[in-house]
């Protein structure tokens, strides 16, 4: 996913002194400040549990022994910390290590973007990590506390693959796991749920890769059905092609419900947008609507959308603190809707 990382990292490094001052190289000022600055955090999945806000981010580290590569090998994260706060704008607490890679029996390397949910008083943390064969799988870990510590299941979720799991529980109690990410996230290696190590990126006129969904079993630890594609269509009902890379899916799925409609949002990756599409049920199809967040400082763009009280918020990240693509910091900004249910794009800088 990171062919352009080197150039962007150089650009980001030259802008470091400005970003440290809270200003970007284009003279723009971030509208939000990092939620924490004592460690690097990214990919924030936010939830409200029992009236309190919990954020499940990746914990970025500067793994100096790991070389930067096109597959994102330098995103070499090794644990998760859960952040919490009583209200937006209030103090943010780092609750310490919630899950360490050494305690995941099947894990090899790279703990990427997680998500969490609660059912019957048990908290479930879903996470992607490469197994010992260097293939991304999705695992689940449980805890009686939203902040952990979480205990990982001995094996990944059977039939899972790729990255960026996000869990959605509908009002009827059914739960769904969405996942997938191309390029370093390996989605291109999976055809009809079968692994093909030679799986390649699509050609520009081919239909783009799609994210995946499976309903979760009652135990929340296994798939209740075969994994299927999540259809994202343009307003004419047509799928996007690979060349529509300012709109097509790349990684970072999120699902939220607003006024009875299902909003599927995601990153376009190499064009760095966060986009969204609306559907009538959790499986879609979802019709493309537009951009939620334009490119931020850094290469990646990743988010969650959550209601807190009567307001909605976009949690996202950029590289304001470090100026380095793999050392990100999570942020939050209010998100608002138009009367027709479309989202007003969030401005990260002004
Ligand atoms: O944090 C590692 C990867 O970067 C995530 O899995 C992607 O969504 C991107 O944010």
In the chain, what are the domain boundaries? 3-335
**DSSP label at 216?**
B
- How many angstroms separate the CA atoms of 252 and 317, rounded? 12
**114: closest CA among 105, 201, 285, 123?**
123
User: How far, in Å, is the centroid of ligand 1 from the Cα of 302?
Assistant: 7
Strand partners for 97:
81
Residues 25 and 323 sit within 8 Å (Cβ to Cβ): no
Question: Tokens 């064969």 appear where?
Answer: 133
Q: What pLDDT, on the 0 to 100 scale, is given for residue 22?
A: 58
CATH number of 3-335: 2.115.10.20
Other C-beta atoms within 10 Å of 91: how many?
9
Q: What pLDDT, on the 0 to 100 scale, is given for residue 17?
A: 39
- How many angstroms separate the CA atoms of 13 and 61, rounded? 17
Question: Tokens 């002004």 appear where?
Answer: 350
Q: Report the C-alpha dihedral over residues 282, 288, 291, 296, rounded to 10 degrees.
A: 70
User: How far, in Å, is the centroid of ligand 1 from the Cα of 162?
Assistant: 11
Question: Tokens 């060349």 appear where?
Answer: 243
Atom 2 of ligand 1: nearest residue by CA position: 112
Could you give the 3-state DSSP secondary structure of residue 187?
A: helix
Which residue among 42, 57, 165, 327 has the greatest number of ligand 1 atoms within 8 angstroms of its CB, and so is best to mutate? 42
Which residue among 302, 325, 327, 328 has the greatest number of ligand 1 atoms within 8 angstroms of its CB, and so is best to mutate? 302
User: How far, in Å, is the centroid of ligand 1 from the Cα of 113?
Assistant: 6
Calculate the CA 120 to chain-centre distance. 25
> What are the catalytic residues?
43, 251
Q: What pLDDT, on the 0 to 100 scale, is given for residue 171?
A: 97
Which residue among 57, 130, 163, 166 has the greatest number of ligand 1 atoms within 8 angstroms of its CB, and so is best to mutate? 163
Other C-beta atoms within 10 Å of 9: how many?
20
Ranges under pLDDT 50 in the chain: 1-21
The pTM of this model reads 0.93
Q: Is the CB of 92 under 6 A from ligand 1?
A: no
User: How far, in Å, is the centroid of ligand 1 from the Cα of 328?
Assistant: 10
Strand partners for 168:
176
Question: Closest ligand 1 atom to the C-alpha of 252?
Answer: 8
Q: What pLDDT, on the 0 to 100 scale, is given for residue 3?
A: 41
Residues 228 and 277 sit within 8 Å (Cβ to Cβ): no
**DSSP label at 328?**
-
């Amino acid at each position: 996913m990171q062919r352009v990382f080197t150039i962007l990292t150089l650009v980001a490094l030259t802008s470091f002194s400005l970003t440290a001052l809270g200003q970007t190289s284009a003279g723009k000022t971030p509208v939000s400040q990092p939620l924490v600055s004592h460690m690097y955090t990214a990919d924030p999945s936010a939830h409200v549990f029992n009236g309190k806000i919990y954020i499940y981010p990746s914990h970025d580290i500067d793994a100096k022994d790991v070389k930067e590569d096109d597959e994102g090998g330098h995103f070499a994260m090794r644990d998760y910390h859960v952040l919490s706060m009583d209200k937006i704008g209030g103090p943010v607490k780092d609750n310490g290590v919630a899950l360490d890679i050494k305690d995941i029996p099947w894990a090899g390397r790279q703990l990427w973007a997680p998500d969490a949910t609660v059912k019957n008083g048990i908290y479930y943390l879903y996470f992607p990590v490469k197994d010992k064969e260097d293939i991304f799988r999705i695992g689940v870990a449980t805890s009686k506390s939203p902040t952990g510590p979480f205990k990982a299941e001995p094996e990944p979720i059977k039939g899972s693959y790729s990255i960026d799991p996000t869990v959605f529980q509908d009002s009827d109690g059914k739960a769904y796991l969405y996942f997938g990410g191309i390029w370093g996230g390996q989605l291109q290696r999976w055809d009809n749920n079968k692994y093909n190590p030679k799986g390649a990126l699509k050609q520009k006129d081919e239909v783009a890769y799609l994210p995946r969904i499976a309903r979760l079993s009652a135990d929340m630890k296994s798939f209740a059905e075969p994994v299927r594609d999540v259809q994202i269509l343009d307003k004419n009902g047509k799928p996007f092609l690979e060349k529509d890379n300012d709109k097509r899916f790349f990684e970072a799925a999120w699902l939220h419900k607003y006024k009875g409609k299902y909003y599927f949002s995601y990153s376009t990756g190499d064009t760095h947008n966060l986009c969204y599409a609306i559907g009538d049920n959790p499986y879609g199809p979802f019709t493309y609507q537009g951009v939620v967040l334009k490119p931020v400082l850094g290469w990646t763009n990743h988010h969650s959308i959550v209601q807190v009280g009567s307001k909605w918020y976009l949690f996202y990240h950029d590289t304001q603190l470090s100026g380095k693509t793999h050392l990100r910091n999570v942020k939050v900004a209010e998100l608002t809707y138009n009367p027709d249910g479309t989202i007003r794009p969030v401005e990260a800088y002004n």
